[in-house]
Amino acid sequence: MHNPRPEDKKGADNGQSPPAGAAANGANGARANGATVSASFRSLFAIFIWVLVVALLLRYLPAVQFIVLVFLSAAILAALLRPLADRLPGSAHTQALLSVGILVIFLAGVLFLLGWTLYSPLQGYIKQWPALQDQMNRFLKEYSGALSIPQAPTFLEFLDQASRLLTGQSGGTLATHVLDAAFTIILGLMVVVVGAMYLIAEPRLMRPALKLLPPQRQGRMYRMLFRLQPQLRWYVIGQAAGMVMVGIVSAVGYLIVGLPFALPVAMFAALAEIVPTFGPMITLLVAALVGATAGLGKVAGALIVYAVVQTTESYVLVPTLMRKTVNVPPIVTLLTVVLWGNVFGPLGLVLAVPIDLVIWAMLEEFVIRAREEQARGNNHGPPG
Protein backbone atom coordinates (compact mmCIF):
# COMPACT_ATOMS: atom_id res chain seq x y z
CA MET A 1 0.00 0.00 0.00
CA HIS A 2 1.23 3.47 -0.92
CA ASN A 3 1.44 5.86 2.04
CA PRO A 4 1.10 9.61 1.27
CA ARG A 5 4.19 11.66 1.85
CA PRO A 6 4.24 14.52 4.41
CA GLU A 7 4.49 17.13 1.65
CA ASP A 8 1.36 15.66 0.04
CA LYS A 9 -0.50 16.13 3.32
CA LYS A 10 0.78 19.71 3.56
CA GLY A 11 -0.36 20.41 0.02
CA ALA A 12 -3.77 18.98 0.78
CA ASP A 13 -4.01 21.24 3.84
CA ASN A 14 -3.15 24.29 1.69
CA GLY A 15 -5.75 23.50 -1.00
CA GLN A 16 -8.67 25.62 -2.14
CA SER A 17 -11.11 24.29 0.50
CA PRO A 18 -10.82 26.15 3.81
CA PRO A 19 -10.48 24.15 7.04
CA ALA A 20 -13.72 23.29 8.81
CA GLY A 21 -12.79 25.39 11.87
CA ALA A 22 -12.17 28.51 9.77
CA ALA A 23 -15.47 28.04 7.96
CA ALA A 24 -17.27 27.70 11.30
CA ASN A 25 -15.59 30.88 12.63
CA GLY A 26 -16.58 32.75 9.50
CA ALA A 27 -20.17 31.61 9.79
CA ASN A 28 -20.27 32.55 13.49
CA GLY A 29 -18.81 35.99 12.72
CA ALA A 30 -21.36 36.60 9.99
CA ARG A 31 -24.19 35.58 12.30
CA ALA A 32 -22.82 37.81 15.09
CA ASN A 33 -22.52 40.80 12.79
CA GLY A 34 -26.02 40.18 11.53
CA ALA A 35 -27.29 39.96 15.09
CA THR A 36 -25.52 43.24 15.96
CA VAL A 37 -27.08 45.05 13.01
CA SER A 38 -30.47 43.55 13.81
CA ALA A 39 -30.25 44.59 17.48
CA SER A 40 -29.15 48.12 16.53
CA PHE A 41 -32.00 48.40 14.04
CA ARG A 42 -34.49 47.25 16.67
CA SER A 43 -33.15 49.78 19.19
CA LEU A 44 -33.24 52.60 16.65
CA PHE A 45 -36.74 51.65 15.53
CA ALA A 46 -37.94 51.46 19.15
CA ILE A 47 -36.55 54.93 19.91
CA PHE A 48 -38.17 56.29 16.74
CA ILE A 49 -41.54 54.85 17.74
CA TRP A 50 -41.24 56.25 21.26
CA VAL A 51 -40.32 59.71 19.96
CA LEU A 52 -43.26 59.59 17.54
CA VAL A 53 -45.71 58.52 20.25
CA VAL A 54 -44.45 61.16 22.67
CA ALA A 55 -44.62 63.86 19.96
CA LEU A 56 -48.23 62.96 19.20
CA LEU A 57 -49.13 62.98 22.90
CA LEU A 58 -47.46 66.33 23.35
CA ARG A 59 -49.18 67.74 20.28
CA TYR A 60 -52.67 66.90 21.45
CA LEU A 61 -52.36 66.89 25.26
CA PRO A 62 -51.46 70.38 26.58
CA ALA A 63 -51.06 69.11 30.14
CA VAL A 64 -48.34 66.68 29.03
CA GLN A 65 -46.66 69.51 27.10
CA PHE A 66 -46.55 71.62 30.25
CA ILE A 67 -45.08 68.83 32.38
CA VAL A 68 -42.40 67.90 29.83
CA LEU A 69 -41.32 71.49 29.15
CA VAL A 70 -41.22 72.37 32.85
CA PHE A 71 -39.17 69.27 33.71
CA LEU A 72 -36.74 69.83 30.83
CA SER A 73 -36.34 73.50 31.77
CA ALA A 74 -35.72 72.56 35.41
CA ALA A 75 -33.11 69.97 34.35
CA ILE A 76 -31.34 72.57 32.17
CA LEU A 77 -31.30 75.11 35.00
CA ALA A 78 -30.03 72.50 37.46
CA ALA A 79 -27.26 71.47 35.05
CA LEU A 80 -26.26 75.12 34.65
CA LEU A 81 -26.11 75.83 38.40
CA ARG A 82 -24.56 72.53 39.53
CA PRO A 83 -20.87 73.73 39.43
CA LEU A 84 -21.80 76.93 41.30
CA ALA A 85 -23.79 75.05 43.94
CA ASP A 86 -20.91 72.64 44.57
CA ARG A 87 -18.64 75.58 45.47
CA LEU A 88 -21.04 77.19 47.94
CA PRO A 89 -21.02 76.47 51.70
CA GLY A 90 -23.73 74.71 53.65
CA SER A 91 -25.91 71.68 53.08
CA ALA A 92 -27.15 70.55 49.70
CA HIS A 93 -30.46 72.38 50.16
CA THR A 94 -28.65 75.57 51.20
CA GLN A 95 -26.36 75.31 48.18
CA ALA A 96 -29.38 74.92 45.87
CA LEU A 97 -31.16 77.93 47.38
CA LEU A 98 -28.04 80.13 47.24
CA SER A 99 -27.20 79.20 43.65
CA VAL A 100 -30.72 80.00 42.42
CA GLY A 101 -30.71 83.24 44.41
CA ILE A 102 -27.40 84.32 42.89
CA LEU A 103 -28.72 83.65 39.38
CA VAL A 104 -31.94 85.61 40.03
CA ILE A 105 -30.00 88.60 41.42
CA PHE A 106 -27.58 88.50 38.46
CA LEU A 107 -30.38 88.43 35.88
CA ALA A 108 -32.27 91.21 37.66
CA GLY A 109 -29.12 93.34 37.67
CA VAL A 110 -28.51 92.77 33.97
CA LEU A 111 -32.11 93.67 33.09
CA PHE A 112 -31.93 96.80 35.25
CA LEU A 113 -28.70 97.97 33.58
CA LEU A 114 -30.10 97.32 30.11
CA GLY A 115 -33.33 99.14 30.91
CA TRP A 116 -31.50 102.10 32.46
CA THR A 117 -29.09 102.37 29.51
CA LEU A 118 -31.59 101.91 26.69
CA TYR A 119 -34.67 103.61 28.12
CA SER A 120 -34.11 107.01 26.50
CA PRO A 121 -33.03 105.73 23.05
CA LEU A 122 -35.91 103.25 22.94
CA GLN A 123 -38.42 105.99 23.73
CA GLY A 124 -37.30 107.84 20.62
CA TYR A 125 -37.45 104.68 18.53
CA ILE A 126 -41.01 103.98 19.73
CA LYS A 127 -42.13 107.42 18.59
CA GLN A 128 -40.51 106.88 15.17
CA TRP A 129 -41.87 103.36 14.70
CA PRO A 130 -45.18 104.19 12.94
CA ALA A 131 -43.38 106.27 10.30
CA LEU A 132 -40.78 103.53 9.73
CA GLN A 133 -43.51 100.88 9.46
CA ASP A 134 -45.28 102.95 6.78
CA GLN A 135 -42.01 103.26 4.86
CA MET A 136 -41.43 99.51 4.98
CA ASN A 137 -44.98 98.83 3.80
CA ARG A 138 -44.52 101.22 0.85
CA PHE A 139 -41.25 99.51 -0.01
CA LEU A 140 -42.90 96.07 0.05
CA LYS A 141 -45.77 97.34 -2.11
CA GLU A 142 -43.38 98.89 -4.64
CA TYR A 143 -41.22 95.82 -5.06
CA SER A 144 -44.19 93.44 -5.02
CA GLY A 145 -45.54 95.33 -8.02
CA ALA A 146 -42.16 95.12 -9.75
CA LEU A 147 -42.12 91.35 -9.16
CA SER A 148 -45.76 90.98 -10.33
CA ILE A 149 -46.93 89.80 -6.90
CA PRO A 150 -50.72 90.41 -6.86
CA GLN A 151 -51.05 91.33 -3.18
CA ALA A 152 -48.18 93.01 -1.37
CA PRO A 153 -47.65 91.84 2.23
CA THR A 154 -47.19 94.37 5.01
CA PHE A 155 -44.32 94.18 7.48
CA LEU A 156 -46.57 92.75 10.20
CA GLU A 157 -47.93 90.18 7.76
CA PHE A 158 -44.34 89.19 6.97
CA LEU A 159 -43.66 88.56 10.67
CA ASP A 160 -47.00 86.76 10.91
CA GLN A 161 -45.99 84.34 8.14
CA ALA A 162 -42.67 83.66 9.87
CA SER A 163 -44.59 82.86 13.07
CA ARG A 164 -46.90 80.49 11.20
CA LEU A 165 -43.91 78.69 9.67
CA LEU A 166 -42.13 78.16 12.98
CA THR A 167 -45.00 77.61 15.42
CA GLY A 168 -48.07 76.86 13.31
CA GLN A 169 -49.83 79.91 14.80
CA SER A 170 -50.15 83.52 13.68
CA GLY A 171 -48.32 86.28 15.52
CA GLY A 172 -51.59 87.79 16.77
CA THR A 173 -52.77 84.44 18.08
CA LEU A 174 -49.45 83.90 19.85
CA ALA A 175 -49.60 87.33 21.46
CA THR A 176 -53.17 86.68 22.63
CA HIS A 177 -52.21 83.26 24.02
CA VAL A 178 -49.20 84.70 25.83
CA LEU A 179 -51.33 87.39 27.48
CA ASP A 180 -54.08 84.92 28.35
CA ALA A 181 -51.58 82.43 29.74
CA ALA A 182 -49.63 84.99 31.80
CA PHE A 183 -50.60 83.26 35.07
CA THR A 184 -49.63 79.86 33.65
CA ILE A 185 -46.27 81.24 32.51
CA ILE A 186 -45.54 82.70 35.96
CA LEU A 187 -46.59 79.44 37.59
CA GLY A 188 -44.41 77.50 35.18
CA LEU A 189 -41.37 79.68 35.97
CA MET A 190 -41.91 79.12 39.69
CA VAL A 191 -42.18 75.36 39.17
CA VAL A 192 -39.01 75.41 37.03
CA VAL A 193 -37.06 77.23 39.76
CA VAL A 194 -38.33 74.95 42.53
CA GLY A 195 -37.74 71.86 40.37
CA ALA A 196 -34.18 72.96 39.64
CA MET A 197 -33.54 73.44 43.36
CA TYR A 198 -34.79 69.91 44.08
CA LEU A 199 -32.65 68.44 41.31
CA ILE A 200 -29.58 70.24 42.68
CA ALA A 201 -30.27 69.31 46.30
CA GLU A 202 -31.40 65.74 45.55
CA PRO A 203 -29.37 64.43 42.58
CA ARG A 204 -30.73 60.92 43.24
CA LEU A 205 -34.30 62.10 42.68
CA MET A 206 -34.44 60.28 39.32
CA ARG A 207 -33.54 56.86 40.67
CA PRO A 208 -37.11 55.69 41.46
CA ALA A 209 -38.21 56.65 37.94
CA LEU A 210 -35.24 54.89 36.35
CA LYS A 211 -36.10 51.70 38.20
CA LEU A 212 -39.15 51.44 35.99
CA LEU A 213 -36.80 50.57 33.13
CA PRO A 214 -35.58 47.00 32.53
CA PRO A 215 -32.51 46.24 34.67
CA GLN A 216 -30.23 45.93 31.62
CA ARG A 217 -31.24 49.47 30.51
CA GLN A 218 -30.81 51.26 33.83
CA GLY A 219 -27.02 51.45 33.63
CA ARG A 220 -27.13 52.94 30.15
CA MET A 221 -29.70 55.53 31.23
CA TYR A 222 -27.50 56.55 34.19
CA ARG A 223 -24.52 56.99 31.86
CA MET A 224 -26.61 58.96 29.38
CA LEU A 225 -27.85 61.37 32.06
CA PHE A 226 -24.32 61.74 33.42
CA ARG A 227 -23.00 62.76 29.97
CA LEU A 228 -26.01 64.93 29.20
CA GLN A 229 -25.65 67.23 32.20
CA PRO A 230 -22.43 69.04 31.11
CA GLN A 231 -23.68 69.14 27.52
CA LEU A 232 -26.82 71.01 28.55
CA ARG A 233 -24.76 73.32 30.77
CA TRP A 234 -22.35 74.25 28.00
CA TYR A 235 -25.22 74.71 25.58
CA VAL A 236 -26.81 77.32 27.89
CA ILE A 237 -23.46 79.05 28.43
CA GLY A 238 -22.75 79.07 24.70
CA GLN A 239 -26.25 80.30 23.90
CA ALA A 240 -25.99 83.17 26.39
CA ALA A 241 -22.52 84.10 25.14
CA GLY A 242 -23.79 83.94 21.56
CA MET A 243 -26.71 86.27 22.29
CA VAL A 244 -24.42 88.80 23.97
CA MET A 245 -21.85 88.61 21.18
CA VAL A 246 -24.44 88.89 18.41
CA GLY A 247 -26.13 91.84 20.14
CA ILE A 248 -22.88 93.77 20.63
CA VAL A 249 -21.39 93.06 17.19
CA SER A 250 -24.72 93.77 15.47
CA ALA A 251 -25.19 97.07 17.34
CA VAL A 252 -21.69 98.26 16.49
CA GLY A 253 -22.03 97.14 12.87
CA TYR A 254 -25.47 98.68 12.33
CA LEU A 255 -24.34 101.99 13.86
CA ILE A 256 -21.27 102.04 11.61
CA VAL A 257 -23.27 101.43 8.41
CA GLY A 258 -25.95 103.91 9.54
CA LEU A 259 -28.87 101.48 9.64
CA PRO A 260 -32.11 103.06 10.89
CA PHE A 261 -33.29 101.66 14.24
CA ALA A 262 -29.82 100.18 14.78
CA LEU A 263 -30.23 99.38 18.50
CA PRO A 264 -33.72 97.79 18.29
CA VAL A 265 -32.65 95.66 15.31
CA ALA A 266 -29.50 94.59 17.22
CA MET A 267 -31.63 93.66 20.26
CA PHE A 268 -33.92 91.68 17.98
CA ALA A 269 -30.86 89.91 16.54
CA ALA A 270 -29.67 88.97 20.03
CA LEU A 271 -33.07 87.60 21.05
CA ALA A 272 -33.57 85.79 17.71
CA GLU A 273 -30.27 83.98 18.26
CA ILE A 274 -32.07 81.65 20.66
CA VAL A 275 -33.95 80.13 17.69
CA PRO A 276 -31.40 77.99 15.80
CA THR A 277 -30.87 78.63 12.09
CA PHE A 278 -34.14 80.48 11.51
CA GLY A 279 -33.49 83.28 14.03
CA PRO A 280 -30.45 84.76 12.21
CA MET A 281 -32.22 84.37 8.85
CA ILE A 282 -35.26 86.33 10.06
CA THR A 283 -32.94 88.95 11.57
CA LEU A 284 -31.24 89.39 8.19
CA LEU A 285 -34.59 89.89 6.44
CA VAL A 286 -35.76 92.39 9.07
CA ALA A 287 -32.48 94.34 8.93
CA ALA A 288 -32.53 94.40 5.12
CA LEU A 289 -36.15 95.56 5.10
CA VAL A 290 -35.42 98.33 7.61
CA GLY A 291 -32.33 99.33 5.62
CA ALA A 292 -34.33 99.43 2.38
CA THR A 293 -36.29 102.42 3.73
CA ALA A 294 -33.03 104.42 3.63
CA GLY A 295 -31.64 103.14 0.32
CA LEU A 296 -29.98 100.09 -1.16
CA GLY A 297 -26.65 101.08 0.42
CA LYS A 298 -28.10 100.35 3.86
CA VAL A 299 -29.29 96.96 2.62
CA ALA A 300 -25.73 96.18 1.55
CA GLY A 301 -24.53 97.34 4.98
CA ALA A 302 -27.02 95.01 6.70
CA LEU A 303 -25.74 92.10 4.58
CA ILE A 304 -22.13 92.89 5.49
CA VAL A 305 -22.96 93.04 9.21
CA TYR A 306 -24.79 89.70 8.95
CA ALA A 307 -21.73 88.12 7.28
CA VAL A 308 -19.42 89.52 9.98
CA VAL A 309 -21.68 88.27 12.79
CA GLN A 310 -22.00 84.78 11.35
CA THR A 311 -18.26 84.53 10.67
CA THR A 312 -17.42 85.67 14.21
CA GLU A 313 -19.88 83.18 15.65
CA SER A 314 -18.61 80.30 13.51
CA TYR A 315 -14.89 80.87 14.14
CA VAL A 316 -14.92 82.20 17.72
CA LEU A 317 -17.98 81.02 19.63
CA VAL A 318 -18.57 77.54 18.20
CA PRO A 319 -14.94 76.31 18.52
CA THR A 320 -14.58 77.57 22.10
CA LEU A 321 -17.94 76.77 23.72
CA MET A 322 -20.37 74.85 21.52
CA ARG A 323 -17.83 72.10 20.78
CA LYS A 324 -18.34 70.89 24.36
CA THR A 325 -21.93 69.92 23.61
CA VAL A 326 -23.18 67.03 21.49
CA ASN A 327 -22.47 67.81 17.85
CA VAL A 328 -26.01 67.40 16.53
CA PRO A 329 -25.91 67.52 12.70
CA PRO A 330 -27.14 70.93 11.39
CA ILE A 331 -29.70 69.29 9.09
CA VAL A 332 -31.28 67.62 12.14
CA THR A 333 -31.51 70.96 13.94
CA LEU A 334 -32.93 72.65 10.85
CA LEU A 335 -35.76 70.13 10.53
CA THR A 336 -36.55 69.68 14.21
CA VAL A 337 -36.80 73.41 14.99
CA VAL A 338 -39.99 73.57 12.92
CA LEU A 339 -41.18 70.25 14.40
CA TRP A 340 -40.75 71.25 18.05
CA GLY A 341 -42.08 74.75 17.35
CA ASN A 342 -45.30 73.26 15.97
CA VAL A 343 -45.53 70.70 18.79
CA PHE A 344 -44.71 72.95 21.76
CA GLY A 345 -45.32 76.45 20.39
CA PRO A 346 -42.83 79.28 21.12
CA LEU A 347 -41.14 77.33 23.93
CA GLY A 348 -40.45 74.57 21.43
CA LEU A 349 -38.35 77.02 19.44
CA VAL A 350 -36.40 78.02 22.54
CA LEU A 351 -35.87 74.42 23.71
CA ALA A 352 -35.42 72.82 20.28
CA VAL A 353 -31.69 72.19 20.69
CA PRO A 354 -31.96 70.80 24.27
CA ILE A 355 -34.68 68.42 23.08
CA ASP A 356 -32.40 67.36 20.22
CA LEU A 357 -29.54 66.89 22.70
CA VAL A 358 -31.65 64.54 24.82
CA ILE A 359 -32.76 62.47 21.82
CA TRP A 360 -29.25 62.43 20.33
CA ALA A 361 -27.76 61.33 23.66
CA MET A 362 -30.26 58.46 23.79
CA LEU A 363 -29.33 57.39 20.25
CA GLU A 364 -25.64 57.60 21.08
CA GLU A 365 -25.93 55.51 24.25
CA PHE A 366 -28.61 52.96 23.34
CA VAL A 367 -27.79 52.44 19.66
CA ILE A 368 -24.28 53.59 18.71
CA ARG A 369 -22.43 52.65 21.88
CA ALA A 370 -24.46 49.48 22.33
CA ARG A 371 -23.56 48.38 18.82
CA GLU A 372 -19.87 49.18 19.34
CA GLU A 373 -19.75 47.28 22.63
CA GLN A 374 -21.51 44.29 21.11
CA ALA A 375 -19.11 44.32 18.16
CA ARG A 376 -16.10 44.41 20.49
CA GLY A 377 -17.59 41.54 22.49
CA ASN A 378 -18.03 39.46 19.32
CA ASN A 379 -14.48 40.19 18.18
CA HIS A 380 -13.02 39.09 21.51
CA GLY A 381 -15.30 36.13 22.01
CA PRO A 382 -14.05 32.55 22.32
CA PRO A 383 -12.92 30.95 19.06
CA GLY A 384 -15.38 28.62 17.32
Confidence band of 250 (pLDDT split at 50, 70, 90): very high
- Residue 146 has what pLDDT? 67
Q: Where are the alpha helices (DSSP H) in 258-329?
A: 262-272, 278-292, 296-312, 318-320
Instruction: Report d(CA 43, CA 35) in Å as an integer.
Output: 12
Is residue 132 within 8 A of residue 260, CB to CB? The reply is yes
Confidence band of 47 (pLDDT split at 50, 70, 90): low
- Residue 307 has what pLDDT? 92
- Residue 101 has what pLDDT? 93
Q: Which residue has the higher pLDDT, 12 or 176?
A: 176
- Residue 183 has what pLDDT? 65
Instruction: Report d(CA 343, CA 266) in Å as an integer.
Output: 29
Confidence band of 304 (pLDDT split at 50, 70, 90): very high
Q: Is the per-residue pLDDT at 6 higher than 90?
A: no
Instruction: Report d(CA 284, CA 293) in Å as an integer.
Output: 15
Residues of the chain by 3-state class (helix, strand, coil), percent to 5: 85, 0, 15
Instruction: Report d(CA 287, CA 307) in Å as an integer.
Output: 13
- Residue 9 has what pLDDT? 46
In sequence order, what DSSP letters do the residues of 209-269 get, joined into one string? Answer: HHTTS-HHHHHHHHHHHHHHHHHHHHHHHHHHHHHHHHHHHHHHHHHHHT-TTHHHHHHHH
Sequence-distant (≥ 6) Cβ neighbours of residue 41 within 8 angstroms: none
Q: Over range 263-276, report the average pLDDT.
A: 88
- Residue 99 has what pLDDT? 93
- Residue 111 has what pLDDT? 87
Q: Is the per-residue pLDDT at 38 higher than 80?
A: no
Instruction: Report d(CA 369, CA 363) in Å as an integer.
Output: 9
Confidence band of 157 (pLDDT split at 50, 70, 90): confident
pLDDT tens digits, one per residue of 135-150: 888 877 777 766 666 7
Q: Is the per-residue pLDDT at 107 higher than 80?
A: yes
Instruction: Report d(CA 102, CA 106) in Å as an integer.
Output: 6
Q: Over range 112-137, report the average pLDDT.
A: 82
Q: Is the per-residue pLDDT at 13 higher than 50?
A: no
The whole-chain average pLDDT of the chain stands at 76
Q: Is the per-residue pLDDT at 124 higher than 90?
A: no
pTM of the model: 0.71
Of 67-76, 123-132, 210-219, 289-298, the range with the lowest mean pLDDT is 210-219
Q: Which residue has the higher pLDDT, 19 or 274?
A: 274
Confidence band of 12 (pLDDT split at 50, 70, 90): very low
